[in-house]
Amino acid sequence: MTTPDESVHARLDRLRRDRGLLTPAELLDLAEHGVTVLDPFSVIVSRRVEIGPDNVLHPGVVIECDERSHCVLGPGNVLYGGTRISATDGGSITVGASSLIGDGGTRILAGAHESITIGDGVRLMDGAEVTGDSLLGHGSQILGRISARSVELGAGLPYTHPDPDGRGGVLTGTGRVAGVLVGTGEALGEVSDDMSDFEPERQRLYHPEAPRLGPGPTLERLTAEHAGAVLAFERENRDFFRYSVPDRGDEYFTPDGFAERHRALLAEQADGRCHFHVLVNGWGRVVGRVNLVDVADGSAEIGYRIAEADARQGLARTAVEEVCRLAAASYGLSALTAVSSLGNEASRALLARTGFTEVGERRVDGEKVMAYRRTL
Ligand SMILES: CC(C)(COP(=O)(O)OP(=O)(O)OC[C@H]1O[C@@H](n2cnc3c(N)ncnc32)[C@H](O)[C@@H]1OP(=O)(O)O)[C@@H](O)C(=O)NCCC(=O)NCCS
């Protein structure tokens, strides 16, 4: 004979098993893998969910994943009460490490063929909702009752880091937002239903006294992961760059336009036609770019740009010298060329300082420029 208590537990277990969910006892057993479930009766977790060690699940957390879907939580996340994570109909959700998800009923929902990837150290707070194909890079945040569909938040440093320019992208406010890309060090505040005037701000605006350059920087070959940080760099310095070099055009600064351009650059690089580099400070922020384009017959043309706030500290000189070394040692080049408009004193001083010699004036798009060459 069973006691009334036993029958309640048995029924509860059967209900959960029939739906592919872990029983309360199985949830408690997760403690053997370092997972803390504070109230196993109010927490619902599908058997198919993969949960890493050191996660804490507060009361009322629901993590669903049907047979066609995929849901993985890395280590060390905290899921606050009311959080709902749901991958259904072939959806995929991946959460990295050490993220804070909740309070206030945060929802992460991936439906048919949708994929949501959340990096490490992300904060989703106060009723944030993430749907569609979304990529929330390391250190990014959604703060507020925001329904974010198919958004990309640039990866960066944790929100506690002293350099606001290096922190992950942020969405704050209340409302709906779809298809936006917020770069590293940027924040899109006051989210509203009409995002046609979408214009992220620098997080630095709110922390003007924060330190800037940080340790480093180092030169890295361009990869897909640099997208958010590169976009933030280009946005922040658009006015500074267009003073000396042609503007990249409005389309470049839109999420789709930028993503397409970034993909195209990586394809050209994979073909060996170009070599792109970003100069990244020790805190993960892009502070400059040095590129080699039109690789042919052992030669290529060099181009460069440094963030306005980090200029005149020798960054371009160090980076150009390093790219010259790479060009000879790794890319098999024997000469580099460059052009500079006649009035660009900074660029001309840089070329002179890094061993380029003038080879004569010519016209590019109607403008007189000085051509340079350096043998490696
Ligand atoms: C050109 C640019 C990359 C220089 O970057 P930077 O990090 O400030 O350069 P560095 O600090 O390494 O300085 C290199 C040389 O340029 C000189 N220089 C830098 N800025 C200068 C300026 N505004 N006016 C005159 N000389 C300048 C430095 O004094 C140094 O010369 P020196 O060693 O003889 O003293 C930067 O100004 C930039 O991005 N400009 C906008 C984009 C651009 O013009 N790109 C080049 C297109 S051809």
Model confidence pLDDT, tens digit, residues 75-125: 999 999 999 999 999 999 999 999 999 877 899 999 999 999 999 999 999
pLDDT confidence bin for 138, thresholds 50/70/90: very high
CB of 244 within 6 A of ligand 1: the answer is yes
Between 72 and 185, the higher pLDDT residue: 72
Q: Is the pLDDT of residue 51 over 50?
A: yes
CATH superfamily of the domain spanning 218-375 = Gcn5-related N-acetyltransferase (GNAT) (3.40.630.30)
pLDDT confidence bin for 1, thresholds 50/70/90: very low
Task: Give pLDDT, residue 214.
Answer: 67
367-375 and 357-364 as β-strands: parallel, antiparallel, unpaired? antiparallel
Domain boundaries, the chain: 4-206, 218-375
Burial degree of 208 (CB within 10 A; 0-12, 13-18, 19+)? exposed
8 Å CB contact between 46 and 27? no
Taking the centre of ligand 1 as the mean of its atom positions, its distance from the CA of residue 268, in whole angstroms, is: 27
Task: Give pLDDT, residue 5.
Answer: 61
CA nearest ligand 1 atom 21, residue: 346
pLDDT digits (tens, 9 = 90+) for 142-190: 999 999 999 999 988 888 888 888 899 999 988 888 888 898 899 988 7
pLDDT digits (tens, 9 = 90+) for 294-325: 999 999 999 999 999 889 989 999 999 999 99
pLDDT digits (tens, 9 = 90+) for 218-250: 999 999 989 988 998 999 899 999 999 999 999
Q: What is the mean pLDDT of residues 6-24?
A: 91
CB of 317 within 6 A of ligand 1: the answer is yes
CA pair distance 163, 64, nearest whole angstrom = 37
Between 205 and 191, the higher pLDDT residue: 205
Closest ligand 1 atom to Cα of 348:
16
pLDDT digits (tens, 9 = 90+) for 265-299: 999 999 999 999 999 987 778 999 999 999 999 99
Q: Which residue out of 301, 312, 317 has the highest number of ligand 1 atoms within 8 Å of its CB and is therefore the one to mutate?
A: 312
Q: Write down how long the chain is.
A: 376
CA nearest ligand 1 atom 44, residue: 244
Mean model confidence pLDDT for the chain: 92
Taking the centre of ligand 1 as the mean of its atom positions, its distance from the CA of residue 289, in whole angstroms, is: 13
CB of 354 within 6 A of ligand 1: the answer is no
**Residue 141 — φ and ψ, nearest 5°?**
-145, 145
CA pair distance 293, 336, nearest whole angstrom = 10
Task: Give pLDDT, residue 195.
Answer: 56
CB of 364 within 6 A of ligand 1: the answer is no
Q: What is the 3-state secondary structure (H, E, C) of the chain?
A: CCCHHHHHHHHHHHHHHHCCECCHHHHHHHHHHCCEECCCCCCEEECCCEECCCCEECCCCEEEECCCCEEEECCCCEECCCCEEEECCCCEEEECCCCEECCCCCEEEECCCCEEEECCCCEEECCCEEECCEEECCCCEEECCEEEECCEECCCECCCCCCHHHECCEEEECEEEECCEECCCEEEEEECCCCCCCCCEEHHHHCCCCCCCCCCCEEEECCHHHHHHHHHHHHHCHHHHHCCCCCCCHHHHCHHHHHHHHHHHHHHHHCCCCEEEEEECCCCCEEEEEEEEEEECCEEEEEEEECHHHCCCCHHHHHHHHHHHHHHHCCCCCEEEEEEECCCHHHHHHHHHCCCEEEEEEEECCEEEEEEEEEC
CA pair distance 146, 153, nearest whole angstrom = 14
| CB count in 10 Å sphere of residue 345 | 11
Taking the centre of ligand 1 as the mean of its atom positions, its distance from the CA of residue 345, in whole angstroms, is: 7
| CB count in 10 Å sphere of residue 324 | 20
Give Cα separations from 27 to 38, 47, 76, 272, 366 (angstroms): 9, 10, 17, 52, 71
CA nearest ligand 1 atom 22, residue: 346
Q: Which residue out of 350, 351, 367, 369 has the highest number of ligand 1 atoms within 8 Å of its CB and is therefore the one to mutate?
A: 350
> The domain at 4-206 falls in which architecture?
3 Solenoid (2.160)
Taking the centre of ligand 1 as the mean of its atom positions, its distance from the CA of residue 301, in whole angstroms, is: 18
pTM over cut 0.75? no
pLDDT confidence bin for 137, thresholds 50/70/90: very high
Give Cα separations from 212 to 165, 167, 216, 307 (angstroms): 8, 12, 12, 11
Taking the centre of ligand 1 as the mean of its atom positions, its distance from the CA of residue 106, in whole angstroms, is: 47
Among candidate residues 107, 101, 123, the one with its CA nearest the CA of residue 167: 123
Taking the centre of ligand 1 as the mean of its atom positions, its distance from the CA of residue 265, in whole angstroms, is: 25
Closest ligand 1 atom to Cα of 311:
8
CB of 372 within 6 A of ligand 1: the answer is no
Task: Give pLDDT, residue 211.
Answer: 74
